[in-house]
Amino acid sequence: MKGFASPRQLAELHVHLEGTVRYETARELAAEHALPAPPPYEYSNLAQFLQLYRPVAQSMQTSADFERVIAEHAESMAAQGIAYAEVSFNPSLHPGSEWIAGVERGRDRAREEFGVEIAWLVEMSRELPAVENELALDIALATGGVVGLGLVGDESIPAEPLASLIDRAHSKGLRFMPHAGQVGGPEVVREAVEILHADRIAHGIASLQDDSVVQLLVDRGLCLCVCPSSNARIGLRPDYARFAQAGLPLTVNSDDPAMVGTTLAKELELAETKYRLAVGALLDASWRYRFG
């Protein structure tokens, strides 16, 4: 199947704003801020990926930088037929607060110039001290278009200390999608569900190592937002069809599309042709399990 296309409008639920930055844009932003040019988007494991991700993120410093990056991604969304996307950003990678205005203006431009809707997830990190994760929550509560929190970072670090922040977010109407079970084990997914009360799971592929965790996800009616090409770039190639066979709802996503070198259309084509997933079910889940 070549050149996948759908007559339906698409939605995407697992995208990192910093990972949408085109390489040419990253080089130009770095030059504007007298920073070294980021390395080429070439990597084969997670450590190498993070070594290029951080410099790109650090090149986004001003509100104008954010507005540009968001507008460029909105243009890409429109070209792909993506009507709605939930996109995350990580405040800990962007010092200060002036840039936040660009997040709101960029979202407005996405709607006005390209006819697409972006909703935000604000990321906390397992490695950060409590005060920085509290700041992330404050930004989430004060910024227009935010519908939830995300969680990234080293999955060997327990996230239970963040439970009170997540409870506070839930009490304010925000939802929660942590990264869990990408490089960590199934116990990380169990923690995300039972301790952190996740509303969706990003990746979650380690659940396949423990049938009881897969069943837990099914029983809770949680959706996994998986990213086949992104995981393959770092050597992870699970059998996603096993999730569908267990009755677990899935969406496929581009994750960091510029850095991975993929699009949502490519992920849908891959899901159908390689992983034997029903595209109709994937499209339905992307709308049903959205936070916005």
CATH number of the domain encompassing residue 272: 3.20.20.140
138 CB contacts (<8 Å, ≥6 apart)? none
- Would you state the pLDDT for residue 5? 54
Residue 5 lies in a domain: no
**Residue numbers of the domain that contains 42:** 10-288
- Would you state the pLDDT for residue 166? 98
Residue 125 lies in a domain: yes
- 82-89 vs 175-180, strand pairing mode: unpaired
Q: Which residues of the chain have pLDDT under 70?
A: 1-8
Residue 4 lies in a domain: no
- Would you state the pLDDT for residue 1? 33
Question: Count of domains in the chain?
Answer: 1
Residue 113 lies in a domain: yes
Among 55, 51, 47, 63, smallest CA distance to 21 is for 55
- Would you state the pLDDT for residue 2? 38
- Would you state the pLDDT for residue 78? 97
Residue 189 lies in a domain: yes
Residue 168 lies in a domain: yes
Residue 1 lies in a domain: no
Q: What is the pLDDT of residues 144-185, one digit of tens each?
A: 999 999 999 999 999 999 999 999 999 999 999 999 999 999
Asked if 223 contacts 285 with a C-beta cutoff of 8 angstroms, the reply is yes
- Would you state the pLDDT for residue 8? 67
- Would you state the pLDDT for residue 3? 45
Residue 3 lies in a domain: no
